[in-house]
């Protein structure tokens, strides 16, 4: 089933900056690629993560990049164990008629700089192209800035107009939306894929954008995926799963806050001492 690949690194931080560790190379039949990376309300990340867990998808590759934040996490589930920031590729093989083989990408982080966003998007497309992907579904959240009281909507955007119809049947709104732009990998992977003649849509769950993560928006996106991919998912564990994922998410968010504020704090802290340190001045 899988080719003879085991724990092979393609590149390193110094050779390319963004690189893949192949755990194995799956053989898949016309697979659909589903991507959920961190973003507004962690809708995309959580929906794809739930899919991995519910389907029991198998990890086959990891992606590392020096465009990610310069930290390691101490894993909340294994206290004291260090966990690097990475993206993780999983595969799942169709179990019955009407289903498709899937590749699912989840991850801890997006790029810290614009250039890195483009390079990571291109590297993701390299991986899925090598596995025969022709169709992409990226998942994200659409932050309205207001509380979403009832059933959150799912919005869509696409690179080929003809890809809208099957999702519109499932209630996805493409045409009467207020969406003006898509930031980061959810959009850029589709843009890069378009130049390689792949098709794809971005599905975005309506969320206030004020919660760390939004289980209702996550469920709304998952229901579209379930319908489109004929998966027969059990949705009962979403709340519970999202709470678990929140632990890691809070660490990453907290950390980005700290990376940003540490420079300022240091400056303030040092400023208070300034009168004692009169002998240190700027020259240039």
For a copy of itself, the binding residues in 95-124 under the rule CB under 8 A are: 111-115, 117-119, 121-123
- Residue ranges in 73-92 that form contacts with a copy of itself under rule CB under 8 A: 73-74, 76, 78-82, 84
Among candidate residues 154, 251, 249, the one with its CA nearest the CA of residue 203? 154
Binding mask 11-30 for a copy of itself (x = CB under 8 A): -xxx--x---x---------
Please, which residue, 1 or 263, has the CB nearer to a copy of itself? 263
The reply on whether position 227 binds a copy of itself by CB under 8 A is no
Smallest distance, a copy of itself to C-beta of residue 257, A? 5
The reply on whether position 259 binds a copy of itself by CB under 8 A is yes
**Other CB atoms within 10 A of residue 211 CB:** 20
Smallest distance, a copy of itself to C-beta of residue 26, A? 22
Q: Are 131 and 31 in contact (CB under 8 A)?
A: yes
Handedness of CA 200, 7, 66, 265 (dihedral sign): positive
Q: How far is it, in rounded angstroms, from Cα 118 to Cα 110?
A: 11
The reply on whether position 195 binds a copy of itself by CB under 8 A is yes
DSSP reduced 3-state for 29: coil
* Strands 102-107 and 32-36, sheet pairing: parallel
The reply on whether position 266 binds a copy of itself by CB under 8 A is yes
Smallest distance, a copy of itself to C-beta of residue 281, A? 6
The reply on whether position 171 binds a copy of itself by CB under 8 A is no
What long-range pairs does 193-197 form, CB within 8 A, spacing at least 24?
193/125, 193/128, 193/136, 193/159, 194/159, 194/160, 196/125, 196/129
Helix (H) or strand (E) run with residue 186 in it: helix 185-195
Q: Which of 184, 217, 221, 226 binds a copy of itself (CB under 8 A)?
A: 184
Smallest distance, a copy of itself to C-beta of residue 88, A? 15
Q: CA-based angle 143:222:248, to the nearest 5?
A: 65
Helix (H) or strand (E) run with residue 87 in it: strand 87-92
The reply on whether position 179 binds a copy of itself by CB under 8 A is yes
Please, which residue, 40 or 233, has the CB nearer to a copy of itself? 40
The reply on whether position 36 binds a copy of itself by CB under 8 A is no
Please, which residue, 99 or 255, has the CB nearer to a copy of itself? 255
The reply on whether position 145 binds a copy of itself by CB under 8 A is yes
The reply on whether position 162 binds a copy of itself by CB under 8 A is no
DSSP 12: B
Q: How far is it, in rounded angstroms, from Cα 284 to Cα 209?
A: 45
């Amino acid at each position: 089933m899988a080719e003879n690949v085991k724990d092979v690194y393609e590149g390193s931080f110094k050779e390319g900056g963004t690189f893949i560790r192949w755990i194995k190379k799956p053989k898949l039949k016309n697979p659909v690629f589903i991507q959920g990376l961190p973003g507004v309300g962690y809708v995309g990340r959580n929906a794809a993560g739930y899919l991995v867990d519910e389907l029991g998808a198998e990890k086959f590759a990891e992606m590392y990049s020096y465009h990610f934040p310069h930290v390691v996490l101490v894993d909340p589930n294994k206290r004291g164990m260090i966990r690097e920031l990475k993206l993780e590729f999983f595969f799942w093989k169709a179990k019955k008629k009407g289903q498709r083989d899937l590749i699912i990408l989840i991850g801890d982080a997006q790029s810290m700089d614009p250039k890195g966003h483009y390079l990571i998007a291109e590297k993701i497309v390299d991986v899925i192209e090598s596995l025969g992907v022709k169709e992409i579904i990226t998942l994200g959240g659409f932050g309205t800035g207001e509380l979403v009281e009832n059933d959150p909507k799912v919005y869509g955007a696409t690179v080929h107009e003809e890809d809208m119809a099957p999702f519109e049947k499932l209630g996805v709104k493409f045409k009467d939306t207020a969406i003006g732009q898509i930031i980061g990998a959810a959009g850029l992977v589709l843009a890069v894929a378009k130049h390689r003649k792949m098709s794809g849509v971005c599905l975005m769950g309506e969320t206030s954008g004020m919660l760390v993560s939004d289980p209702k928006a996550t469920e709304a996106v998952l229901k579209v995926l379930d319908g489109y991919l004929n998966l027969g998912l059990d949705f009962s564990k979403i709340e519970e799963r999202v709470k678990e994922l929140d632990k890691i998410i809070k660490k990453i968010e907290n950390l980005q806050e700290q990376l940003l504020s540490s420079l300022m704090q240091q400056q303030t802290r040092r400023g208070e001492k300034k009168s004692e340190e009169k002998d240190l001045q700027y020259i240039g």
